């Protein structure tokens, strides 16, 4: 029987829905190998499992879960982690050589090594056509450049907040919600940016957790 699986390929990517066979023994938190429409295979983490009637099929992308990650797959994933160190260095050297105003944040190999994704931050749009051509010639595979924000950088690199715990975006947040100064004022917090900002330099995501309680209290 066919099921719909909510998966996340990389921490910086938003979760998505793909189809899979119910005979595959998967539960939330498991790793799996998924094949997308273009034939690219990648590893992903399972967040949820649904019957086809529970999810709007318009939200299901073209792809299919092949299997639960096995020991051989884990070895390939470890090799890809080692490979990305050299890819990061090579790309960073090229960025400096071409003098592009961008900061390389992370690199990710697809499971089958047919695609390398370079995540970067930049203040505006970047013409990286020459960079992509050079990298494609070096690695002989498809190159994708993905611009991300400062909050995404913190999610990738991780760290600990002023609460002493690992930052929320690294531990469990699947997506970012808008965090505004209104939340700070509603909770009567000090307007000291060093106390209400996260490692990314933006307002802390946790400000939204108790906002409803404060709003209800202020209305009484």
Say what the pTM is. 0.80
The pLDDT tens digits for 204-220 are 888 888 777 777 666 65
Q: How far apart are CA 87 and CA 196, in angstroms?
A: 36
The answer on pLDDT for 184 being more than 60 is yes
Contact 199, 161 (CB under 8 A): yes
4 close to 149: Cβ distance less than 8 angstroms: no
Per-residue pLDDT reduced to its tens digit, 30-40: 999 999 877 78
Q: Which two tokens stand for residue 121?
A: 């931050």
What's the rounded mean pLDDT across residues 31-52? 88
Set out the domains of the chain in order of their start, with CATH numbers.
Answer: 2-69 (no CATH), 74-148 (3.30.300.20), 159-219 (no CATH)
Q: Are 73 and 24 in contact (CB under 8 A)?
A: no
* DSSP one-letter code for 147: E
> How far from the centroid of its chain's Cα atoms is residue 212's Cα?
27
- If pLDDT is split at 50, 70 and 90, which confidence band does 1 have? low
166-184 average pLDDT score? 82
Cα–chain-centroid distance for residue 147?
12
pLDDT at 219: 62
């Amino acid at each position: 029987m066919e099921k719909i699986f909510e998966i996340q390929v990389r921490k910086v990517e938003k979760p998505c829905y793909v189809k899979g066979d119910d005979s595959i023994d998967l539960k939330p938190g498991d790793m799996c190998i998924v094949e997308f429409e273009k034939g690219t295979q990648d590893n992903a983490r399972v967040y949820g499992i649904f019957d086809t009637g529970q999810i709007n099929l318009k939200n299901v992308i073209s792809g299919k879960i092949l299997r639960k990650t096995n020991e051989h797959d884990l070895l390939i994933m470890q090799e890809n982690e080692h490979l990305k160190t050299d890819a990061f260095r090579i790309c960073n050297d090229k960025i400096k050589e071409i003098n592009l105003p961008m900061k390389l944040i992370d690199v990710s190999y697809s499971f089958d090594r047919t695609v390398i994704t370079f995540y970067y931050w930049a203040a505006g749009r970047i013409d990286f056509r020459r960079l992509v051509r050079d990298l494609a010639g070096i690695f002989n595979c498809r190159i994708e450049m993905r611009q991300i924000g400062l909050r995404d950088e913190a999610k990738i690199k991780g760290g600990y907040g002023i609460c002493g715990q690992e930052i929320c975006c690294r531990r469990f947040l699947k997506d970012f919600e808008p965090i505004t100064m209104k939340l700070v004022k509603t909770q009567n917090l000090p307007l000291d940016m060093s106390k209400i900002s996260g490692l990314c330099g933006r307002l802390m995501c946790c400000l939204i957790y108790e906002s409803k309680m404060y709003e209800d209290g202020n209305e009484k």
